[in-house]
Amino acid sequence: MNQKELERFKEKIIKMRDEVLNSKQEDRRKETYRETSGDHTYSYHIADQGSDCMENEKSFLFASLEGNVLDDLNDALMRIDNKTFGTCFMCGKDISIKRLEAVPSAKLCIDCKSGEEKEQI
């Protein structure tokens, strides 16, 4: 992969990372507004309490997934700096540009990723 392609991927990954960070900041602003505005609704019915609990768990799950995405994107940026971006961790072959376009943080080529997914089944 040439330097121009690496720079293009770096810009794309930084943009993706910024979008995730901005999304997290917006979520925090909404939560802070809700807390400071006194908009605390308490559920008194058991079904409503269950729904509230489920919504809280979904929020934690999404926050965790966003954290994983950020970790993957930061890791991809480090691989660009270390000159290992685009090389499969398992077989050492080049990861196709098409795959990197779809998943810029990819660590495995499509063949190794397919094999890994088959093992998980």
pLDDT surpasses 80 at 121:
no
* pLDDT (tens digit per residue) in 23-82: 866 655 555 555 555 555 555 666 666 666 666 666 655 655 566 889 999 999 999 999
Mean of pLDDT values over 3-29: 86
Q: What is the pLDDT of residue 120?
A: 85
Angstrom distance (rounded) from CA 65 to CA 25: 15
What are the tokens at 3? 């330097």
The more confident residue out of 96 and 51 is 96
Report DSSP letters for 79-112, one per residue.
HHHTT-TTB-TTT-PBPPHHHHHH-TT--S-HHH
What are the boundaries of each domain within the chain?
A: 1-85, 86-121
The alpha-helical segments, DSSP class H, found in 3-85 are: 3-36, 46-81
